[in-house]
């Protein structure tokens, strides 16, 4: 499923893989986010940190009209305020989707899959 944007010059299709890459990059750039996690860790048999090529495993995109809802599965560093880290992820994901792809987000849901101890 792709997001379709109508412009005066035609139609633009943006795949969920592209959206997942933008969302994953925005999420992992925040302090306190150790990395992306798989949304189906048991089914995928992978409970570690996803690399950039697999960000789509940790992002769910649902599109409605010209807006999307994004679920982001992340791993947070131990000892940090989870609500602040989550709010920062929401803000950066919304900002990057709007500025890089021109997509309005209805909601950004942050799901904490794990907490890891940060290495000093």
E-assigned strands of the chain?
2-7, 10-15, 33-36, 59-64, 67-77, 104-116
pTM: 0.83
Q: Which residues are within 8 A (CB) of 45 and not within 5 positions of it... i.e. 6 or more apart? A: none
Quote the pLDDT of residue 36: 86
pLDDT tens figures, 31-85:
998 888 877 755 555 556 655 556 677 889 988 776 789 999 998 989 889 999 9
Q: How far apart are CA 109 and CA 120, in angstroms?
A: 29
CATH numeric code, 16-116: 3.30.70.1350
Give domain limits for the chain. 16-116
Percentage of residues in the chain having pLDDT higher than 90: 35
């Amino acid at each position: 499923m792709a997001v379709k944007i109508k412009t005066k010059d035609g139609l633009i299709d943006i795949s969920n893989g592209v959206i997942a890459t933008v969302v994953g990059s925005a999420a992992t750039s925040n302090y306190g986010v150790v990395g992306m996690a798989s949304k189906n860790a048991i089914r995928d048999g992978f409970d570690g940190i996803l690399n950039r090529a697999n960000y789509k495993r940790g992002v769910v995109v649902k599109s409605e009209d010209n807006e999307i809802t994004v679920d982001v599965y992340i791993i947070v560093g131990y000892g940090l305020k989870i609500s602040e880290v989550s709010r920062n992820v929401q803000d950066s994901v919304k900002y990057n989707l709007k500025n890089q792809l021109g997509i309005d987000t209805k909601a950004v849901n942050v799901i904490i899959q794990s907490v890891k101890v940060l290495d000093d």
